Structure 1
Amino acid sequence: MSGGPARFAVVGTPGDRRVTMFGDAVVRHGLPTPIVIPWCDVLAAGEALIPPGALVRIDSPGEDARADALLRGPGDPSRVAGGARWYRTFTAGLARVRDLTEATPSAHLLGDPGEIAVMFDKRLTHRRLQAAGVPVPDALPGPISSYGELREAMARRRWARVFVKPAHGSSASGVIAFQAHGARVKAVTSADLGPGPSLHNSLRIRTYETEDDVAAIVGALAPDGLHVERWFPKASIAGRAFDLRVVCVAGTPTHAVVRASRSPMTNLHLGGVRGDLDAVAGRLGDAGWDHAMDVCARAAACFPRSLAVGVDLLVATGFRSVAVAEVNAFGDLLPGLPGLPGTPGAGLDTYATQVAAVLGGRFAASSVPEPRQEPGERGEEETACVT
């Protein structure tokens, strides 16, 4: 980097683990601690100053009750609803970060607001990956506004099992693993259909087996938008179904963790456990592992202006095929996970790998021209991928 030592800034939540761990990685390179620009200041259109010459990392709003209220409106942060408003406010905040950076001399973004906006809409992400030839689960093409419409769409395609996902959710918030055989239904979800009109997130997986309950849950989620995928039968290891979270830095898969669970939800905060990566790689074999990592790299290539993305990779029963379930803009929070041998992340955590990629020139901030389009516009799904 010319003009003296690099200076980093992070748009995030002060004290958030992501911000702290990235800051520690920067300091280990002998650089000043990054300046933190609070999301609350950005969202409230308050004073949010970016230092001249800064390399600006956009991070998650985090578990900040004030930021959540600014994004979704006042209410219990554990509530599931409000995703559409959250998305509108968040993408407006991303646009402000972009404008502030462009107005600051020699400042550059390490993540593209338009790409982040696409990753926070599961429908747009699915279309972008599919258009690039990246394997993804089959999905319903049109909007689903009720439980009745969901059942009708499943019947037309003869799908008995689906995953119903809020279009803008994260951390499995509101996700339903749903199966129906005539009048017999089963919905597995972290959403708590407790007393009162609202759904709330829970750290305990719940099962609902009446149509009235499932209809109430789907009905509560539908106004914010739904993405419905055909159930992809996952492979198992040590008696648990699993998927992989693969972090790609500067387009290269550098870190991978097995997320295994006895429930359809493999998220670690919902009772999932880190599984044996060597065992999974052994079952895939060298050719299968190389193919899996190539698929992750192709998914990351659809977001070339993003320093790091987290790819959720599904491995099919029998280890015969793989598919990408989601691509996460902030999917690099994997404490204590060393990088994959033979990759630029070997011996480094996800944050140190990112800092090294920037300082070593493997990722150039703002290296790809950004189309002048507001984040989250519907035309985003037509943007071509770099493969």
Structure 2
Amino acid sequence: MTVRFAVVGSPGDRRVTMFRDAVVAAGLAEPYMISWRDVLAGREVGAPEGALLRVDSPGEDAETDALLRGPGDPARVGGGAAWYAAFTAGLERVAAIPGVRLLADIREIGVMFDKRACHAALTGAGVPVPPAFEIFSYAELRAEMTRRGWARVFVKPAHGSSASGVIALQAHGDRVQAVTSATWGAAGELFNSLRVRTYTTDEEVRRVVDLLAGDGLHVERWFPKASAGGRVFDLRVVTVAGVPTHAVVRMSRTPMTNLHLGGRRGDLELVRSRAALWDRVLEVCAQAAACFPGSLATGVDVMVGADWRSVAVAEVNAFGDLLPGLGDISGNGRDTYAEQVRAVLAGAMAVGA
């Protein structure tokens, strides 16, 4: 039987291009393309009968963003609840496409895009995660921090990615410091910036938090990360069919290690050279991936503690497989997309209808 892939994504998105290249390199026809624009606009979409359908990120397409959050600058922060409602409705339409077999469970994608639900799923499975709570205002945040005796937290929009709206907050009495990539525009909107900045007054921090809080905020106790060369670091580990296959160390002089925010790739041997620690990282990432058995791939953000022994999961990403230029940690030289194509063709996971 001839295998045919299809993909739901945004035309021109790098993920779609790299997946297409991996499919073609395997000697197969180019994947049939379904645009997120068409899905979200409610247009009729379809795919070849029996196609294996990959659901990919909506990407950074401005028209797609408008369909998800409504009109506005795609760089703005906020609108996560509207985005999530439109996105999950779009996933339902994708799941209803006749004659295809999905390479990911749409319910699991929905959980991974809700930080509260994802944290609950990981906690229930015994995956190490920082303790957390949910709030809807700055007043609630400070009150709950005081009640728990936490001076340092990460404040995360319930529905978000790429550190959009994330705040690393320290509060000691009247002193407060908030590190974030969010910056104010002339019209009083928050925008994503490629430069991390620090707010140091209670009024400034309250204004940022309260603007974001309407969509719900997931607050985690600050997990002190290991550092090397004056930079803290964490890892993005990609799993394919439940097995960790690729990893990158992300290092930064700020609490945010995202590469687009000034973080840089570090030497993976920082962790791999410590056998017990590396084994624990792989174990925890596999444990996190097992919470999402219907998903072909996940991107697990895992933190190594300042003691160089403890490990905690910060995020599990449904579309976290964009790690160009890296071979896998098994040493076979395949990128994340080639590894997924190989896994499907080898029957390494059950593909649900």
Q: Shorter-normalised TM-score: what interval?
A: over 0.9
Query: Any residues of structure 2 matched to 1:154-173 within 5 Å, and which?
Result: 154-173=145-164
Q: Please tell me whether the aligned partners of residues 235 and 249 of structure 2 are also in contact (alpha carbons under 8 angstroms).
A: yes
CA distance in 2, matches of 1:364, 1:271: 39
Aligned to 1:289, what secondary structure does the other structure show?
A: helix
CA distance in 1, matches of 2:350, 2:140: 46
Q: Are 1:91 and 2:88 matched, yes or no?
A: yes
* 2:276 corresponding residue in structure 1: 287
* 1:353 corresponding residue in structure 2: 339
CA distance in 1, matches of 2:17, 2:350: 23
* 2:231 corresponding residue in structure 1: 240
Q: Are 1:120 and 2:109 matched, yes or no?
A: no
* 1:174 corresponding residue in structure 2: 165
Aligned to 2:185, what secondary structure does the other structure show?
A: coil
**Which residue type is aligned with residue 130 of structure 1?**
T
* 1:40 corresponding residue in structure 2: 37
**Cα displacement (A) at 1:320:** 1.6
TM-score, normalised via structure 2 length: 0.99
Q: Please tell me whether the aligned partners of residues 234 and 257 of structure 2 are also in contact (alpha carbons under 8 angstroms).
A: yes
* 1:54 corresponding residue in structure 2: 51
Q: Are 1:297 and 2:286 matched, yes or no?
A: yes
Deviations 1:200-250 (A, max 9, x none): 100110100011110000001000111000000000122210000000000
Farther-moved stretch of structure 1 (43-52 vs 204-213): 43-52
Aligned to 2:214, what secondary structure does the other structure show?
A: helix
CA distance in 2, matches of 1:27, 1:202: 36
Q: Are 1:255 and 2:246 matched, yes or no?
A: yes
Query: Any residues of structure 2 matched to 1:131-142 within 5 Å, and which?
Result: 131-140=124-133
Q: Are 1:148 and 2:148 matched, yes or no?
A: no
* 2:266 corresponding residue in structure 1: 275
**Cα displacement (A) at 1:93:** 0.3
Between Structure 1 and Structure 2, how many residues are aligned? 353
**Cα displacement (A) at 1:364:** 2.2
CA distance in 1, matches of 2:177, 2:186: 20
Q: Please tell me whether the aligned partners of residues 237 and 280 of structure 1 are also in contact (alpha carbons under 8 angstroms).
A: no
Aligned to 1:334, what secondary structure does the other structure show?
A: coil
- From 318, 324, 336, the counterpart of 2:307: 318
CA distance in 2, matches of 1:361, 1:238: 43
Q: Please tell me whether the aligned partners of residues 246 and 328 of structure 2 are also in contact (alpha carbons under 8 angstroms).
A: yes
Deviations 1:12-57 (A, max 9, x none): 0111100000000000000001011000000001121111010000
**Cα displacement (A) at 1:357:** 0.1
Farther-moved stretch of structure 1 (118-127 vs 232-241): 232-241
Q: Please tell me whether the aligned partners of residues 162 and 228 of structure 1 are also in contact (alpha carbons under 8 angstroms).
A: yes
Deviations 1:105-156 (A, max 9, x none): xx2000110000000000000000000000000112xx41211111000000
**Which residue type is aligned with residue 314 of structure 1?**
M
Q: Please tell me whether the aligned partners of residues 271 and 277 of structure 2 are also in contact (alpha carbons under 8 angstroms).
A: no
Deviations 1:175-210 (A, max 9, x none): 000000111100000000233221110011010001
Q: Please tell me whether the aligned partners of residues 248 and 297 of structure 1 are also in contact (alpha carbons under 8 angstroms).
A: yes
Query: Any residues of structure 2 matched to 1:149-228 within 5 Å, and which?
Result: 149-228=140-219
**Which residue type is aligned with residue 292 of structure 2?**
F
- From 19, 24, 27, the counterpart of 1:22: 19
TM-score, normalised via structure 1 length: 0.90
**Cα displacement (A) at 1:318:** 2.0
Aligned to 2:59, what secondary structure does the other structure show?
A: coil
CA distance in 2, matches of 1:276, 1:297: 22
Aligned to 1:224, what secondary structure does the other structure show?
A: coil
Q: Please tell me whether the aligned partners of residues 55 and 108 of structure 1 are also in contact (alpha carbons under 8 angstroms).
A: yes
Aligned to 1:317, what secondary structure does the other structure show?
A: coil
CA distance in 1, matches of 2:251, 2:33: 34
Q: Please tell me whether the aligned partners of residues 186 and 208 of structure 1 are also in contact (alpha carbons under 8 angstroms).
A: yes
Aligned to 1:153, what secondary structure does the other structure show?
A: helix
- CA RMSD across the alignment: 0.9
* 1:109 corresponding residue in structure 2: 102
CA distance in 1, matches of 2:229, 2:3: 46
CA distance in 2, matches of 1:280, 1:294: 14
* 1:376 corresponding residue in structure 2: none
Aligned to 1:188, what secondary structure does the other structure show?
A: strand
Q: Are 1:229 and 2:215 matched, yes or no?
A: no
CA distance in 1, matches of 2:184, 2:138: 15
Aligned to 1:20, what secondary structure does the other structure show?
A: helix
